[in-house]
A = this chain, B = another copy of it.
Amino acid sequence: MKMKEEEKIVIIGLGLIGGSLALDFRKNKERALLLGIDTDKEHVREALELGIIDCEIDRSQIAEADWVILAIPVDKTAAILPEILDLVKEDAVVLDVGSTKEQICKAVENHPKRRNFIAMHPIAGTEFSGPSAAFEGLFAGKTNIICEIEKTAFSIQEKALQLFKKLNMRIRYMDPKAHDKHIAYVSHLSHISSFMLGKTVIAEEQNERDIFDMAGSGFESTVRLAKSSPAMWTPIFKQNKKRVLKSLSEYIDNLNHFKMLLESDDFDSVYTEMEETNKIKEILKGIHLKKELSYGE
């Protein structure tokens, strides 16, 4: 029996996303050696203990990697990605998973090894962070947005797409600017809305914590994202500032309009505002349907 050669997978950033990808690599590759890098030594220890990685390495060993995954805050990715590409061998696949794409793509646009890199954003995650939040199968059925695919070498594309298929991900191709524009609305704004909702309620109820057991699933649902990591989200808001500000201004305008309707007792319009937004039901249902169809399930 011929043994398949061992693949060296380097995961930079052993949090929820990096850790979950590591677990999926291990499951889907016949022989994978999982190598971890993280500035947080507690995360390294945990990732070793949880069997997410086989050992810790340092950056000098990246030259031997077959795969390098960057799963760190987007400002750090933009900063170190050029150096990582400098180090990797000819046929290595380098991936990032960041929630912004324009600045990351820009950071390597003229890099001689740009063709080794796939800029992607798997739309997957939970409000939890760290290696202990990682789990196998996080990416199954999720959308993976890949930007500037034409800048990636065909052989690299092929390897990566094969893996994504095994992970049961649904691929969409998009321009980095379009990605950042739309994701400001369907993800970044939700986080601000949730954080500020949490802040508002905590400020009001800080002396009456008991009040929180009046909270039902509705409150929990809208405030869930306020558990997210500030270390991850601050650089996202910084990199996508212009578009986030645009969506946030529109959101505030809509809230002010709703407030004005309440103040002026225009409850017919209050009704209409909600009724018109109810179509989100069909929109979300449409997505689920489309996702199911694309797997033939």
Contact = CB atoms under 8 A, between A and B. Distances in A.
Given A267-B234, A270-B234, A255 B213 contact: no
A183 B208 CA distance: 13
A259 B248 contact: yes
Interface in A56-100: none
B227 A245 contact: no
Interface string A216-249: 1111111111111011011001100100110111
A290 to B, nearest CB: 6
Secondary structure at the A interface, as helix, strand, loop or mixed, is helix
A187 interface: yes
B199 A211 contact: no
Interface of A: 123-127, 142-143, 145, 170, 172, 179, 182-183, 185-187, 189-205, 208-209, 211-228, 230-231, 233-234, 237-238, 241, 244-245, 247-252, 254-256, 258-259, 262-263, 265, 267, 270-281, 283-284, 286-287, 290-291
Contact of A234 (B172, B219, B226, B274): B274
Contacts of A179: 214
A220 B267 contact: no
B245 A262 contact: yes
Contact of A186 (B172, B219, B233, B279): B219
A186 B201 contact: yes
Given A190-B222, A204-B250, 4 more contacts: A199-B277, A201-B280, A213-B290, A252-B252
Contact of A200 (B170, B189, B191): B189
A114 B200 CA distance: 36
Contact of A274 (B233, B238, B252): B233
Contact of A227 (B226, B233, B258, B278): B278
A281 B273 CA distance: 31
B274 A245 contact: no
Among A125, A215, A263, the one with the most B-chain Cβ atoms within 10 Å of its Cβ is: A215
Given A187-B218, A214-B145, A255 B262 contact: no
